[in-house]
Chains A and B, each alone.
Chain A
Amino acid sequence: MSPSQAASRKAARPGRDAVAAKGWLAAHKWLLRRRACQAGVLAAFLAGPWFGVWIVKGNLSSSLILDVLPLTDPYLLMQMLAAGFVPAATAVTGALILAAFYLLAGGRVFCAWVCPVNMITDAAGWLRRRLEIKAGHAPDARSRYWLLAGTLIAAAATGSLAWEWVNPVSIAHRGLLFGMGAGLWFLAAVFFYDLLVASRGWCGHLCPMGAFYGLLGKTALLRVAAPGRDACNDCMDCFAVCPEPQVIRPAVKKAGQESPVIRDALCTTCGRCIDVCGQRVFNLTHRFDQRSSS
């Protein structure tokens, strides 16, 4: 096997070193926690319609927890305001609560820990690595901001929540709770787009919801950091699994910053880099943690 072949084999199965160094469970700790969180959120929503246990009613667009706490997606509220409708206080309160939470936790925590589409695009990304599909072309990662602006303009132009007609995120979640209909086609389109056309194309380049939550993440307290960066052996496993690989370099390679904290708001705080690193470079910490093992 030539060295380049070996490298591509390794990229197809990142995390092997970590399993060898830490054991399987420790090398999948954050992944398992994240899947548990996603499943838990879904289960909380499904417990009502399936078993009559109403922990939370509604869906990710708007919900009511234990019949008291209202939550509304702040991105949806933005679209609503753009469409020219000023909603009742409940929706505004709910959106402020969620916005405050994500300002502290990091906006894209939603993407990694809550969003149902994440499981689809993670599956597509995993399969793309395994099948070593290199073909395709990813659009510029800034497309999502244009799309975000476009969805707000479309809302203003049509006077309706135009994006919600096609938004795969709300279609996925609403579909699971209220009936999918032809929504499966939208989700299949996202899956095959990510698998065959663009690596991490939807979540990392296009999704306007992710772009919006990314903007919310500028002040996040919860962050992934690389305090053990001096132990980095350049195996590139973290780059292979990271849904936003460009966020890693500044922290690990001190590119433009001294701090080991990944500050880029686009980091989804999924923690997969912590898992797959055999050198224990990464940990989950707070924004102001400047500790570095060096």
Chain B
Amino acid sequence: MNAAKPSERAGAPGMSRVSPARRKFLAGMAGAAGSGCLLAMGAGLYARQARGVPALALRPPGALPEDEFLAACTRCGLCVRDCPYDALRLAAPGDPVPTGTPYFIARDVPCEMCDDIPCLPNCPTGALDPKLTDIARARMGLAVLVDHETCLNFLGLRCDVCYRVCPAIGQAITLERQHNARSDRHAMLLPTVHSEHCTGCGKCEKACVLEEAAIRVLPFALARGRLGGHYRKGWEEREKHGGSLIGEQVELPVRGLEGKAYGDTRVDDAPPPAPGENPAGIDSRWKP
């Protein structure tokens, strides 16, 4: 407990095991350690809570997954300088994107998907992966038709603008024909995004004619669901194995459908049984 009373002991030379100079050194060191670590910890905490990227900020083509990107990007802006369309910018402090990292907002300036990907080769660290040589394989995000209530094609009109501007026309966005139940006599051609072709360039979002785009490019984490790891699709498994994995199923009679092939539940292809007649035994009286 001697160390707890430095002032007393300082006045009693010979009793002190810690010289004043050494005490001063230790106090200074502790102060230095404290202030240094405190500042660094503050920076670390700020970095942790600020690392989220807003949904509409997209990384340049070839960017590593976000977690890795934040370790790999030097925030030098060479990609920004090399973008011929000035789509990219560096986040300034206060922007909702981690300070100094490059991003683009598709609704402002989308990625033009240059064939030679000029933003990529000068990246000094590989934060933009040089293995990306075919821009069609870039995955900056995924277009999602977020609003089915305002999309003009869903209203039965033929806008089709997102479909027409898509650099992977007919692949990344297709128009799927559907009956228009409202008019009951027209078709609706619904823009439908296919993730295996969409690069997330954002030209559809930029071109959407609405005041607020009904189709938006979102980061994959927001755009996609994920099946449980144990899910198997029966039709894929059957194809892989050349037959059902669970073998033939026991066929149990279904009341009312005894005359049909197993599994055929259609009821309207047979003439309705005459009143009083009941070929299947029981008439459930169910009609579609």
Contact = CB atoms under 8 A, between A and B. Distances in A.
Interface in B51-104: 51, 67-68, 70-78, 80-82, 89-95, 98-100
A139 B35 contact: yes
Contacts of A162: 43-44, 46-48
Nearest to A81: B71
A91 B123 CA distance: 9
B37 interface: yes
Contact of B47 (A146, A149, A160, A208): A160
Contacts of A141: 32
Contacts of B124: 62, 64, 70, 72, 87-88, 90-91, 94
Contacts of B94: 181-183
Interface string A182-213: 11011000000000000000000010100000
B35 A61 contact: no
A156 to B, nearest CB: 10
A47 B276 CA distance: 96
B40 interface: yes
12 contacts: A48-B81, A49-B81, A62-B74, A87-B124, A88-B130, A140-B29, A154-B44, A160-B51, A161-B47, A166-B47, A170-B75, A181-B94
User: Residue among A48, A166, A181, A186 with the most chain B CB within 10 A?
Assistant: A166
B76 A154 contact: no
B89 A179 contact: yes
Given A85-B125, A147-B40, A154-B44, A186 B93 contact: yes
B36 A61 contact: no
A57 B79 CA distance: 10
Interface of A: 48-49, 54, 57-59, 61-64, 70, 72-73, 76, 80, 83-85, 87-88, 90-91, 94, 139-151, 153-155, 157-166, 170-171, 174-175, 177-183, 185-186, 206, 208
Contacts of A90: 124-125
B33 interface: yes
Given A62-B124, A165-B50, 4 more contacts: A80-B74, A144-B36, A166-B43, A174-B92
B39 interface: yes
A91 B74 contact: yes
A57 B124 CA distance: 12
Contacts of A166: 42-43, 46-47, 93, 99
A58 B36 contact: no
B28 interface: yes
B40 A140 contact: no
Contacts of A62: 74, 76, 78, 124-125
Contacts, number: 201
Given A64-B78, A165-B98, A146 B92 contact: no
A161 to B, nearest CB: 7
A85 B36 contact: no
B39 A83 contact: no
Which has the most chain A C-beta neighbours within 10 Å: B39, B51, B123, B124? B124
Given A61-B75, A178-B80, A150 B36 contact: yes
Nearest to A80: B71
A5 B149 CA distance: 79
Nearest to B38: A150
A140 B124 CA distance: 36
B36 A145 contact: yes
Contacts of B33: 143, 146
A144 B37 CA distance: 10
Interface in B16-41: 28-29, 31-33, 35-37, 39-41
Contacts of B31: 139-140, 143
B122 A146 contact: no
B75 A181 contact: no
Contacts of A177: 77
A206 B39 contact: yes
A164 B100 contact: yes
B156 interface: no
Contacts of B95: 181
A286 B125 CA distance: 35
Interface in B193-250: none
B95 to A, nearest CB: 6
B2 to A, nearest CB: 25
A174 B36 contact: no
B44 A157 contact: yes
B39 to A, nearest CB: 5
B93 A154 contact: no
Given A143-B32, A146-B33, A154 B126 contact: no
